[in-house]
Amino acid sequence: MKSDSSVRILKTIREIQKTSEKFRSEGKKIAVVPTMGYLHKGHTSLIERAGSLADIVITTIFVNPAQFGPNEDFTRYPRDFERDKTAAQAAGSGIVFYPDVEEMYPKGFVSFVEAGEASNILEGKFRPKHFRGVTTVVAKLLNITKPHIAIFGQKDAQQAFIIRKMIRDLNFDIDIVIAPIVRETDGLAISSRNIYLNETERKNALVLFRSLQYAQERIRQGERSIASIRKEMLNIIRSGAPAQIDYVAFIDPVNFSETENINQSEILIALAVRFGSTRLIDNILIPIS
Ligand code: AMP
């Protein structure tokens, strides 16, 4: 679907299932980009990637209550559907699925997808039940939009791993594509939550990417001591006056478990840090030569 044709907004599951079924019967390839809206350049890069891989791009916009904890920002999560519609269309999305909460979770809803071990560490430790909410909504969205391809961002590396695993474990007949992190020109990973940052916090948050780049450089130079790299990363992050460092974790991307060694072919360094009341995550995937 071309970006100059007008985007179709579908709000009911029945409508979009019928629409996808029709496209499939015409031999069209469908890609879906699940989002929570408030679209930014990270999201639109996924939509553009989807357009390069498929005939029809469906963007889903749904702030999923099941992945927010009781003290998290579900009600104040930023929303702007009119702007999202324009952004999705400009990036090449022909269809936007925009259901309300009752459509996705009608009264009596009880079935959830459990996400396994990888969902209990890092984000899962700080956000209990978060990944159960993510896998459940993604499974639903895949059944609802019936895509051939689903695109997710490396920005949420743990989520990408867990969804890839779910797709394999539950035999979804769908190719998953993980797209690279889009950053602001100064290096801050783009996130809908960046708008919560005040001017000072926004400036301080640059320590996140700086610390990840530092680690990358040290590993490139041959450093293999995680303790030494982590210590300096923490110093760099602390220079940005964070309210709290939730974690700086070294992960083996093959099984998404924390590792004590740098001896695999790639290492993922993932972190979560709070600036004021805003919690930011970022990561870097480093090849080991
Ligand atoms: P969200 O709306 O935050 O649930 O994100 C929807 C999708 O966009 C997820 O697959 C995210 O990983 C991806 N995404 C969010 N921010 C970025 C970014 N800066 N670069 C690349 N992908 C992103």
Nearest residue to 215 (alpha-carbon basis) of 184, 244, 249, 182: 249
| Ligand 1 mutation target, pool 33, 35, 59, 194, most atoms within 8 A of CB | 35
Which protein residue's CA is at the shortest distance from atom 13 of ligand 1?
A: 153
Q: How far apart are CA 180 and CA 140, in angstroms?
A: 24
pLDDT at 5: 66
pTM: 0.97
- Tell me the per-residue pLDDT of 69-116, one tens digit each, with 9 for 90 and over: 999 999 999 999 999 999 999 999 999 999 999 999 999 999 999 989
Q: Secondary structure of the chain in the HEC alphabet?
A: CCCCCCCEEECCHHHHHHHHHHHHHCCCCEEEEEECCCCCHHHHHHHHHHHHHCCEEEEEECCCHHHCCCCCCCCCCCCCHHHHHHHHHHHCCCEEECCCHHHHCCCCCCCCCCCCHHHCCCHHHHCCCHHHHHHHHHHHHHHHHCCCEEEEEHHHHHHHHHHHHHHHHCCCCCEEEEECCCECCCCCECCHHHHHCCHHHHHHCHHHHHHHHHHHHHHHCCCCCHHHHHHHHHHHHHCCCCCEEEEEEEEECCCCEECCCCCCCEEEEEEEEEECCEEEEEEEEEECC
Does the beta carbon of 191 sit less than 6 angstroms from any atom of ligand 1? yes
Which protein residue's CA is at the shortest distance from atom 16 of ligand 1?
A: 42
Q: Is 40 a catalytic residue?
A: no
Does the beta carbon of 42 sit less than 6 angstroms from any atom of ligand 1? yes
Does the beta carbon of 165 sit less than 6 angstroms from any atom of ligand 1? no
Nearest ligand 1 atom to the CA of 181 is 20
Residues of the chain falling short of pLDDT 50? 1-4
In Å, what is the CA distance from 186 to each residue of 5, 24, 93, 182? 34, 42, 28, 11
pLDDT at 4: 47
pLDDT at 289: 83
| Ligand 1 mutation target, pool 41, 155, 159, most atoms within 8 A of CB | 155
Amino acid identity at 130: H
Q: How far, in Å, from the CA of 284 to the mean position of ligand 1?
A: 15
| Ligand 1 mutation target, pool 43, 98, 135, 181, most atoms within 8 A of CB | 43
